[in-house]
């Protein structure tokens, strides 16, 4: 039996910090004061369920801020728009900012570069909450590009200067491809690779492990962007790659005797779930 668990699997620094801040607030919040998170604190149903049992619920968007005046609001690791902070202050809401420091860095870059008159281009998924938050720190209109096709179709005024940033969990190789396409158009651009180091390390290790095994298991919530990208990478190099959320999903996996199995997990996957999957796989008669 040969089972390889990626060293980078599981919570990243930003996610671990965000969850820690939530539990700290549970312990010290004033009697009767309620705690909310701005959207699910992380993309993991198990963690969200545990917090709900402890009385911590999420709100959907700015339209809900007026309903929670006087409460504590925790900004999740994905971050959010500047306008949310401003509105929360007006409503008398106490903000606890759990935005990942790597995401905060992008907010500062976008704010400064857009104030300098540069057009902001974000490489990422416009429907992801992190990207929505980044957009909310620009002082000018923003363009979001998700793939090479959108990059090919991208046009700008020849006199414009452009600042390119990335969603922190974007696929590094795809980011580089998209940047190359834009560079060939001859625009005056400033490229800032804002994919976080943890994401890059996780993706590189996922590729390395998936190249070396017969079956690859990727653990994470279906809504997790970084887990989806890990799955895409692993699937490229290992055709028998499974995307699971908990150990229960392993029932559909084909693990015949004598094979090697690799395991990795997204940045929002708790260690106890990873260990359950690891022990289950090792317990099979491979």
Q: What does the pLDDT look like over 260-277, one tens digit per residue?
A: 999 999 999 999 999 999
Please state which of the ranges 74-88, 120-134, 165-179, 272-286 shows the lowest mean pLDDT. Answer: 272-286
**Whole-number average pLDDT of the chain:** 93
Which band of pLDDT confidence, cut at 50, 70 and 90, is reported for residue 128? very high
Helix, strand, coil content of the chain in percent (nearest 5): 45, 20, 35
Residue 284, pLDDT score = 57
- DSSP H or E segment with residue 205: helix 197-212
Q: How much of the chain exceeds pLDDT 90, in percent?
A: 83
Which band of pLDDT confidence, cut at 50, 70 and 90, is reported for residue 30? confident
For residue 3, list its beta bridge partners: 261
How do residues 197-247 score in pLDDT, each as one tens digit? 989 999 999 999 999 999 999 999 988 889 999 999 999 999 999 999 999
Which band of pLDDT confidence, cut at 50, 70 and 90, is reported for residue 285? very low
Q: Are 163 and 123 in contact (CB under 8 A)?
A: no
Q: How far apart are CA 40 and CA 47, in angstroms?
A: 9
How do residues 79-102 score in pLDDT, each as one tens digit? 999 999 999 999 999 999 999 999
Residue 165, pLDDT score = 98
Vertex 203: Cα angle to 98 and 42 (nearest 5): 25
Examine the pLDDT at 37 and tell me if it is beyond 90: yes
Alpha-helical regions (H) of 137-196: 148-153, 172-183
Q: Which residues are catalytic?
A: 130
Domains and CATH numbers, the chain: 2-11+198-283 (3.40.1010.20), 13-100 (3.40.50.11270), 102-195 (3.40.1010.20)
Which band of pLDDT confidence, cut at 50, 70 and 90, is reported for residue 286? very low
How do residues 52-70 score in pLDDT, each as one tens digit? 999 999 999 999 999 999 9
């Amino acid at each position: 039996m040969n089972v390889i668990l990626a060293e980078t699997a599981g919570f990243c620094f930003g996610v671990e910090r965000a969850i820690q801040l939530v539990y700290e607030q549970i312990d010290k919040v004033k009697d009767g004061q309620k705690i909310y998170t701005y959207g699910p604190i992380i993309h993991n149903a198990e963690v969200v369920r545990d917090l709900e049992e402890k009385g911590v619920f999420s709100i959907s968007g700015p339209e809900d801020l007026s309903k929670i005046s006087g409460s504590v609001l925790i900004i999740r690791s994905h971050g959010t728009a500047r306008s949310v902070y401003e509105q929360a202050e007006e409503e008398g809401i106490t903000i606890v900012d759990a935005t990942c420091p790597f995401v905060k860095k992008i907010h500062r870059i976008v704010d400064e570069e857009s104030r300098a008159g540069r057009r902001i281009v974000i490489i990422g998924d416009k429907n992801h909450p992190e990207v929505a938050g980044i957009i909310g720190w620009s002082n000018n209109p923003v363009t979001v590009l998700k793939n090479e096709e959108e990059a090919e179709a991208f046009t700008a005024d020849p006199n414009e200067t452009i600042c390119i940033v990335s969603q922190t969990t974007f696929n590094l190789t795809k980011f580089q491809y998209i940047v190359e396409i834009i560079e060939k158009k001859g625009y005056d651009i400033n490229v800032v690779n804002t994919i976080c180091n943890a994401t890059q390390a996780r993706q590189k290790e996922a590729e390395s492990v998936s190249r070396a095994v017969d079956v690859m298991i990727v653990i994470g919530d279906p809504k997790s962007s970084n887990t989806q990208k890990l799955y895409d990478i692993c699937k490229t190099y290992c055709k028998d790659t499974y995307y699971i959320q908990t150990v229960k999903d392993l029932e559909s996996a084909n693990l015949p005797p004598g094979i090697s199995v690799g395991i990795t997990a997204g940045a929002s996957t708790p260690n106890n779930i990873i260990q359950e999957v690891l022990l289950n796989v090792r317990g099979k008669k491979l």
